[in-house]
Amino acid sequence: DTEVTQTPKHLVMGMTNKKSLKCEQHMGHRAMYWYKQKAKKPPELMFVYSYEKLSINESVPSRFSPECPNSSLLNLHLHALQPEDSALYLCASSQPRDRGPSWRNTEAFFGQGTRLTVV
Amino acid sequence: AQSVTQLDSHVSVSEGTPVLLRCNYSSSYSPSLFWYVQHPNKGLQLLLKYTSAATLVKGINGFEAEFKKSETSFHLTKPSAHMSDAAEYFCVVSERMTTDSWGKLQFGAGTQVVVTP
């Protein structure tokens, strides 16, 4: 199973709402990611979790709050979003190799994304 | 520091003709390189990867890419385009990781492929 599952597929929310995006993988990967993708642009990294701990936060506004409850699940909690936050939100996972001179990132597997519209 | 440049933002080909998508990278170390495809409103699917083994890499759906260190290139090719190949393609680089770069993939700007009948 090389699948990363994201729910919901579509989400419309008001600027005062609180919602959550969910991501699940059962490949045993210990790195999970949130990306934001605007139309006609490449994905932009938001957060990286490594072994269930937040390892990278790319200066994302606090209205986005990630959570990694266990090694298979990744959530993104949304609160007080702005219309410019409307985008495709992608979750991904990968299996990091052991640290060493040739330590590299392996390929990332992406979910189908959640299309978020903030009104 | 790593970076990746996709030399064409838009490529149009006729069905049945070859496809060439060009990618150049810059990396301080021997990188890992990937090509991903994204169909409209879908996630990214891995086409192929280079991780310092064979320089000619075969992927899914008839795609292949050749790693040329001297040219710092990783161009994607397919001998015969199919209508289903119409999509956005991203060249991605990942180099040896440090604490600051752990988990980071560097994406190219993307190449939009249009296939005409």
Q: What is the per-residue pLDDT across A40-61, written as a single tens digit (0 to 9) for each?
A: 999 999 999 988 999 889 999 9
How far A19 CA lies from chain B's nearest CA (Å)? Answer: 21
Find chain B residues with C-beta within 8 A of A115's C-beta: 41
CA distance B76 to B68: 12
Find chain B residues with C-beta within 8 A of A43's C-beta: 44, 107
pLDDT in tens, B61-91: 999 999 998 999 999 999 999 999 999 999 9
Strand arrangement, sheet containing A4-7: A4-7, A18-25, A73-79, A64-70
pLDDT in tens, A69-109: 999 999 999 999 999 999 999 999 988 765 555 555 678 99
Q: What 3-state class would DSSP assign to B8?
A: coil
Kindly determine whether residue A104 and residue B32, on different chains, have CB atoms separated by under 8 Å: yes
Short-list A78, A84, A76, A88, CA closest to A36: A88
What is the full DSSP assignment across A50-112? ETTEEEEE-S--TTEEEEEEETTEEEEEEES--GGG-EEEEEEEE-PPPSSTT------EE--
Go through B94-116 and write b for each residue having 16 or more CB atoms within 10 A of its CB, e for each that does not: bbbbeeebbbbbbbbebbebebe
Short-list A87, A86, A91, CA closest to A68: A91
What are residue A37's DSSP bridge partners? Answer: A88
pLDDT value of residue A1 = 61
Question: Which of the four pLDDT bands, split at 50, 70 and 90, describes residue B104?
Answer: confident
